[in-house]
Chains A and B, each alone.
Chain A
Amino acid sequence: MTQVAANPKKTKTKNIPMTGDQAVAYAMKQIEPDVVAAYPITPQTEIVMNFSDYVANGVVKTEMIPVESEHSAMSACVGAAAAGVRTMTATSANGLALMWEIVYIAASTRLPIVMPVVNRALSGPINIHCDHSDTMGTRDSGWIQIYSENAQEAYENTILAVRIAEHKDILLPVMVCQDGFITSHGVEGLELLDEKKVKEFIGEYKPNYSLLDVDKPVTYGPLDLQDYYFEHKRQQSEAMKNALHRIPEVLKEFNKTFGRDYDFIETYKLEDADIAIIALSSTAGTVKFVVDELRQKGLKVGLLKPKIFRPFPKEKIINALKNVKAVAVLDRSESFSAEGGPLYTEIKAALYDSDINPRASNYIYGLGGRDIFPEDIKKVFEDLKNLVAAKKVTSPKVNYIGSRE
């Protein structure tokens, strides 16, 4: 597989079979960051492994820093980004957890690091399979988060992320998430983008400041106490708000260059739907399959897939749900608030700020890689149908798909 990935000659006319991890490694090859500091962890390992091949074979000129832990990986990335170079890493689950301290520092120091994250259940008990508990834990760390439905999206989102992170009005690090094993190890036919066009799209990275610029010396990371810390946090809030306005510009250019139709959210047969499911990443693909099936039976069902979760595209989501009578939010992680998963509480908060009031319920599913089947999704749509018909809601707000009672 690596051989195929390393040989882009045949890529112009036909699809190339690749896993999600290989696709992201290929995106990194095309981006050719100046520095990559990473530590392997299942199921992200293949990203680092394949990218190391590109480095070892001289395909890219990237400075690869093999570190002894994820804490060091993100620390090295912070140092490299502060030095003013394009910097990337990749991780999963416990690796992300070990980075935690520096994950916050990367965001608050406003370093445009791009990090593919292959979603995996966060221990314990220890588990290597997919859920979103790792990145959902970092949703308030100040990173932009993009969730990818399949390998194609993971590949393209990685390229997109570079431009978003480095935008002068944003300057925030970006996580590009894909589902562990389901996407990262599943083989898909990938449509690869022209490398010249990719390089033109991302352009040359010109940092405002560099630690190595002795003519314009700067200090990164000084002590920041009661008198200015708050102002720096305020700048971070404003940068995230800016991202809501600036990301569409980047998306527009991406769509124009590569013939795509990306937005903050993706909707599927939602315009005239009475009931809808909201889901992130690969599950959205399964929901589309079920939507098609139920539409054939005449049921008005649809899907809303938030693609960018941070910043949270509230207005787009409210607008997309304006005709929906009931909505089910699928969460592949628990937040242990006793009020449902993180996506659900976020959607509910958005609805409070709107003029619409669809009935909403939450379904926690797929923790630790538990499979979700079309039948499960059909059951959710069935519940929604009953929810619309019922005068009084008796079903629980938070449900658990596939957990044995």
Chain B
Amino acid sequence: MTLKLDWASFQAAKYACMNFHYSKSVPAGKLIKIGVWEDNKFIGVVLYGIGANSTLGTPYGLEQTECCELVRIALTQHATPVSRIVAISFKLLKSISPGLKLIVSFADTNQNHHGGIYQAGNWIYSGQSKAADEYLVYGERLHGRSMRAKYGTHVGKDFIKIVKGSVKHRYLMPLCDMIKLDIIKRAQAYPKRVTKANLDFPSESGGAVPTNALHNIQ
């Protein structure tokens, strides 16, 4: 089996998000789209973005341009371990954005995700993020950024309900030694897999948790 990672088109990334990821949505904002091929067959994408807010890197003393978020891993059935695919994607990401020093990613507890792929890839666990408010718009649960991207500012307030977002496990991957020395002090013990799933509300902002297909085979 041959594995190849290369740049993906937006069209291919959208297809992967819509068909291979539980959220069936493409993250808002600028994206670095890394495609994955096994035996020359397209099996999905790994997407990096600037994250849901501009202060993603602030806790680590980083500017917005030094920190990014791994926002989607949208893969169909595959032979290569996800952690390996993600690790290879770092090289492509660094080649196109050499100024980046840190990648942040989140595993959504509401999806029964504990971040197994990050643990397998030796990411640094830095605890849980606070549950930010999300919005129920026309019955669809959206992060504020996604809501603005989809509807602009013209959603009538009568159609929006503010709901408590889910708590997410936060994982960090330093891309340079200096930041590694700093964030390793924040490392906490990896959380364990949650046994009882609660799949009532797929999180739209979801982060790069594994696809449903992966969930079954990991």
Question: Is the A/B pair a real complex?
Answer: no
A residues within 8 Å of B by Cβ?
none
Binding site for A on B (CB under 8 A): none
